[in-house]
Amino acid sequence: MPDPKDALTLQLLEWISREPRTYAEVLDAWRTTCPRLSVWEDACLDGLIAYEPDGDRIVSVSAKGLALLDSRKQDGSKGA
């Protein structure tokens, strides 16, 4: 059975990849205080997210995150 958190991580990455998001916007939408549902924090720790340290702090999907999205899309197209 797939881990539901994996699906949420993919949803986070897809959401961020659609358009530029500010750090504040992403935290408002994705940060949680639930220790069992730390999608944003885990994605950052796993190197799937990149953001500018200064200014507007625009958040983006890292190269590693884009590779994960691409591999999941390819896996999905194999079953079609």
- Residue 69 pLDDT level (bands cut at 50, 70, 90): very high
Measured between alpha carbons, how far is 24 from 56 in angstroms, rounded to an integer?
9
**Per residue in 31-62, pLDDT tens?**
777 777 788 888 999 999 998 888 789 999 99
| Top CATH class, 4-78 | mainly alpha
Q: What is the pLDDT of residue 1?
A: 37
List the single range of 4-8, 10-14, 25-29, 68-72 with lowest mean pLDDT.
Answer: 4-8
pLDDT above 80 for 2: no
φ, ψ dihedrals at 21, nearest 5°:
-125, 145
